[in-house]
Structure 1
Amino acid sequence: MSMAWWALIWGLVSGASLLLGAAAGWWLKLPRAAVAGIMAFGAGVLICALAFELVAESYATGGLLVTALGLICGALLYFFANRIVAKRSRAPGSASASGNALAVGALIDGIPESVALGVGLVAGGAVNPAMLVAIFISNIPEALASTAQQKQSGKKAGGIFLLWGSVTLVAGVASWAGFALLSLTDPGWTAFAIALAAGGILTMVADTMIPEAWAVEHDFTGLIATAGFLTAFAVHAVG
């Protein structure tokens, strides 16, 4: 099996946690503290994966300037995309509108994450386990919260799971595209793309995951995020 197919498969695997989160949001009634705890843990995992995997790989491949440019561009891209989504979802105050906004946010988050998986295959020849775990964990609370709100508004299960199935498919395609496009370019562009994805993910963690977790967990957010960071570092060190 070619590496491009593996990129697609791993993208689908990471995106499949969205379906798990949707299933939990539909059939389970998890307390907000549990959802916030999962989000804080996922934030810690992602920060570690960014620092020790993506940014380090970008710097080793393309140097400081390319890495810095990629991080800045990725942060700005996520920032403006997130602002557009926030403005369009601010007017309707229903649970359905809020749930749809979370779903769109998960799509914006998921594209750079999945691209990072595909780019990692170009750079390292194998999927990054810490990054895969980080994405898998971080997807769950977003899909869970969105599904719970859409269910509350009366949306049917078929439409909800079709939505998350589509986002999962996009994640797989994004991972494949990250591999397919960058395997044809020079290492400098690969390094830039890795940093671009890292900048988008880091901005998402700071703007979305940590504030939402802190709103519920408050003082425990840092401890839980540290546990996630340590878990990802252990995966990195052992791997």
Structure 2
Amino acid sequence: MWGALAASSLLVGAVLALLRDWSARTVGLVLGFGAGALIASVSFELAEEGVRGGGALAVGAGLALGALAYALADRAVEGYAARGAGAAGLPLAVGALLDGIPEQVVLGGGLAAGGSVSVALLVAIFVSNLPESIGSSADMLGSGRSRTTVLGLWGVVAVVCTLATAGGAVAVAHAPDGVTAGIQGFAAGALLVMLIDSMIPEARKKGGELAGLATVVGFALAAGLSLLT
């Protein structure tokens, strides 16, 4: 249920893109807010919790593997997209998967380990999905994709991300602390590369000089929720 709620923002973003046009500035500010929330989640929900539960070595190994895996997969997606406009929809969907799967695996792992949802991580995932889905859906519609195709693509992505939450819960429930910490480190590494290579530059480009302030607000909110929960 929590995984479906987090992933539902992908479909919400697609629907919002269908209903109206969103300015680049608005999308950029939401991207900045989501980036700040994810930075807090990486710091407090992934790295800190991982080190506390399984040790720094496991988290460090996971960080390196996650960063490398995301960088290689992202390069493959960009190469596929460069082949032509006709392939535009699939790389966008795959890019969302690259972001979403590690996030939601950790969300499910946290549920299995602690028995309760991380509100901070849930908010970070939900908010960060929105601008990605809105912007990507708008691009697909502009390139001639039908509304049914756009909604179908994001529906598939949302379902896979939801299943990743269940997979994370099962993996953590049957894994030793070191493996759990490695999974958290892997997700943190993947998300950090995504933030620096994609999300933060896009937020600055579209949101302008207010993008940094929006990022701080997102970080403060998610950090506060982490402390409260």
Q: Which one of the candidate residues 20, 37, 54 is aligned to 1:62?
A: 54
Return 54-63 or 153-162, whichever deviates more. Answer: 153-162
- DSSP 3-state at the match of 2:99: helix
Give TM-score scaled by structure 1 length.
0.92
SS of corresponding position for 2:55: helix
User: Which residue of 70, 82, 88 maps to 1:78?
Assistant: 70
Within the alignment, does 1:181 sit opposite 2:171 as a pair?
yes
Please report how far the alpha carbon of residue 26 of structure 1 lies from its aligned counterpart in structure 2 after TM superposition.
1.1
The alpha carbon displacement at 1:10 in A equals: 1.3
Aligned to 1:5: none
Q: Which residue of structure 1 aligns with residue 80 of structure 2?
A: 88
Aligned with residue 26 of structure 1, among 14, 18, 22: 18
Preserved CA contact (<8 Å) 2:64 2:189: yes
Shift of 1:98: 4.0
Trace 1:184-203 onto structure 2 (pairs within 5 A). 184-203=174-193
Structure 1: give runs of 5+ residues left out of the alignment.
Answer: 1-8
Check the 8 A contact 2:27/2:207 in 1, yes or no. Answer: no
Does structure 2 conserve the Cα–Cα contact (< 8 Å) formed by 1:106 and 1:142?
Answer: yes
- After TM superposition, the runs of 4+ consecutive aligned structure 1 residues lying more than 6 A away are none
1:48-83 per-residue CA deviation (whole Å, 9 max, x = no partner) reads 011011111100011111111111111111111101
User: 5 Å matches for 1:33-182?
Assistant: 33-92=25-84, 94=85, 97-182=87-172
SS at match of 1:52: helix
Which range moved further: 139-148 or 100-109?
A: 100-109
Which residue does the alignment assign to 2:3? 11
Q: How many residues align?
A: 229
Q: What's the offset of the Cα at 1:145?
A: 0.9
Q: Is the 2:28–2:208 contact (alpha carbons within 8 Å) kept by the matching residues of 1?
A: no
Q: Deviations over 1:21-66 (max 9, x none)?
A: 0011111111110001100100000000110111111000111111
Aligned-CA RMSD value: 1.3
User: 5+ unaligned residues in a row in structure 2: which ranges?
Assistant: none
Counterpart amino acid of 2:172?
A: L
Deviations 1:109-152, CA, capped at 9 Å, x for gaps: 11101101011113322111100000000001111111111111
Report if aligned partners of 1:75, 1:203 keep a CA contact under 8 Å in 2.
yes
TM-score, normalised to structure 2, is 0.96
CA distance in 2, matches of 1:222, 1:57: 26
Query: How far off is 1:99 after superposition?
Result: 4.6
Whole-Å separation in 2 of the counterparts to 1:209 and 1:150: 19
Q: Is the 8 A contact 1:116 1:198 kept in 2?
A: no
More displaced, 118-127 or 205-214? 118-127
Q: Please report how far the alpha carbon of residue 200 of structure 1 lies from its aligned counterpart in structure 2 after TM superposition.
A: 0.8
Q: Distance in 2 between matches of 1:29 and 1:179?
A: 37
Q: Equivalent pairs: percent with the same residue?
A: 40
Equivalent position of 2:204 in the other structure: 214
What amino acid is the match of 2:105? Answer: V
Report if the CA contact (8 A) 1:111-1:171 is conserved. Answer: yes
